[in-house]
Amino acid sequence: MSVEMKFDVTVASIITPDDPSAPDLTTLNGRIHDLLDEWLVGAIEALTALDMASAQRAWNCVVWHIEAHHSAEDELILCHYEDQDIEDYPEGGLPELFQAEHKRLRELMDQCKLELDRIEQAPPHKQRRCMVERLEVFMRVRRLLEHHGLREQTHLYPRLDAKLSREEREFIAEELEAASL
């Protein structure tokens, strides 16, 4: 299993239909989340194959990219989103929910790291059972990441695409891409 992880999206390839010179943040974020999910599945595949060295490397890569993406969102995205009136947020679209999901994902990823170590330290004849008993927390990360991405795609990024200038979207897209990939 290869943990070499690359992504071929560039800001220039993500444009809005009505303004070919402006990056579409919603599309970029969707593609970043698709890639994060692909990497997460790769880490889980290595884990279920009991290839612990690959699973550890892949997991570390997944965590690094998710944390970098969330840090960029916390610093670049949520501040623009929070400029709106509180009454204007849709149900399920409060900034605090995005921040809470980032925090919960960090907690679950930390738990997964501990579980990886436990599986690796289990006696060889018990390692598969140990993995099966701990697999659910990895799937929880995947489900929460998917839910979080859908919430962003529905509430956060479309509003920013509509609200921000072309220059602001271009700057944010470049920064988000650089941080996340």
Residues sharing a CB contact under 8 Å with residue 137, sequence separation 6 or more, in sequence order: 108, 111, 112, 115
Indicate the pLDDT class of residue 4, thresholds 50, 70 and 90.
very low
Q: Is it the case that residue 45 has pLDDT exceeding 70?
A: yes
Mean pLDDT, the chain, rounded, equals: 87
Name the one residue in this structure whose structure tokens are 């200038």: 165
Question: What's the pLDDT score for residue 16?
Answer: 47
Q: Report the candidate in 96, 97, 71, 84 with the shortest Cα–Cα distance to residue 175.
A: 71
How high is the pLDDT of residue 12?
44
pLDDT band (50, 70, 90) for residue 92: confident
What's the confidence (pLDDT) of residue 91?
Answer: 85
pTM as predicted: 0.86
- CATH code that applies to domain 11-180: 1.20.120.520
Domain coordinates of the chain in residue numbers? 11-180
The whole-angstrom separation of Cα 116 and Cα 109 is 10
